[in-house]
Amino acid sequence: MDETQPTAPVNVSEREATDLAVMALDAAAWSADQGARPDGVVRCEPAWFRAVELPRVRGAVERVLMGRHPDHGLDLLLEVGALDALLPEVKAMVGFGDGEWRHKDVWKHTKQVVLQAVPRTEVRWAALLHDIGKVKTRRIEANGEVHFFGHAEVGASMFDRMQRRIPLFTGEESLSRSVRFLILHHLRASAYEPGWTDSAVRRFAKEMGGGLCDLLDLSRADITTKRPEKKKRGLDAISELARRVREIQEMDAKVPPLPKGLGTAISARFGVPPSPALGNLMKVLKDLVDNGDLEAQRDNDYYLDHIAAEGLVGAK
């Protein structure tokens, strides 16, 4: 922060203080849109920001995140004191790393991820918050290596506490769930390796569900290495994962997971007549295939043997 930056006068009315805080938030949004620093920006007292109505706070922060130059807007939110007052989880990332240890500066990385992220509200919010758990999970080994084990899970818990402290997403429960989901799972796609079986890819896609597209887009944005060859490998891996998910989903839509005649075979071997019980058993097998625990379109004996081995019905 610029040490010469002026601070707003202390002796102001409550209304004037709130107006100054709103002006500071609007200045950050303007900076994110224009990519420049406006004149006359002052640092406000924390209490002034807390007096601003939450919908207006969220609107201003979203304008920053969705701007063409969100990194400029985020820097101004820091400069005017808004991050200290409203999002201390984000403020804690400022200067965390910064060449001190063998890991990239988390604040600089976060700003770049936001800048690189597709301009969808869920993805930009998640880009801002995805690494907040790193501050609480940094572990430095004796050899100087740095790890952040469990930072995604810790970050999701921190998001829950943030929501209780400052419920920015009140009335937007779907958005809140999406952002939390992306924070929790933001490392999943980067764990992909070409050796994943179709069952593993199918299981991944099922677990990610409707958040898959946002997750893949966040994963692409999360690649901030300055080494072109490493960045290309990362982006190519995510593209390959997306392609395999798409191909498997297209295949599954055309080919039923279980072979024809399986229900008749179950009735013949286990004495289960056509009934809701048989339907439930078929559903169990289908779910196992969808989850990648059983292979699709095998011969009947493959599934019959599984039923017998797991004791799903009395074997004969």
Domain count, the chain: 3
Write out the chain's pLDDT in tens, 316 residues: 444 466 666 678 889 999 999 999 999 999 999 999 998 888 999 999 999 999 999 999 999 999 999 999 999 999 999 999 999 999 999 988 755 555 678 999 999 999 999 999 999 999 999 999 999 999 888 887 888 899 999 999 999 999 999 999 999 999 999 999 999 999 999 999 999 999 899 999 999 999 999 999 999 999 999 999 999 999 999 999 999 999 999 988 887 889 999 999 999 999 999 999 999 999 999 989 888 889 888 999 999 999 999 988 854 4
Same domain, 126 and 240: yes
Same domain, 138 and 247: yes
Same domain, 212 and 240: yes
Query: Does 100 reside within a domain?
Result: no
Q: How many CB atoms lie within 10 A of CB 119?
A: 12
Q: Domain range for residue 272?
A: 262-310
The last residue of a domain, from among 237, 254, 271: 254
Q: Are 95 and 168 in contact (CB under 8 A)?
A: no
Query: Does 275 reside within a domain?
Result: yes
Please list, in sequence order, all residues whose beta carbon lies within 8 angstroms of the beta carbon of residue 189, skipping any fewer than 6 positions away.
Answer: 215, 216, 219, 238, 241
**CA-CA distances (angstroms) from residue 206 to 83, 200, 202, 242?**
36, 10, 6, 13
**CA-CA distances (angstroms) from residue 277 to 101, 255, 264, 283?**
60, 24, 13, 10
The last residue of a domain, from among 254, 277, 299: 254
Same domain, 133 and 224: yes
Query: Does 138 reside within a domain?
Result: yes
Same domain, 272 and 248: no
Same domain, 135 and 32: no
Q: Are 193 and 177 in contact (CB under 8 A)?
A: no
Same domain, 131 and 243: yes
Name the pTM for this structure.
0.81
Query: Does 92 reside within a domain?
Result: no
Query: Does 208 reside within a domain?
Result: yes
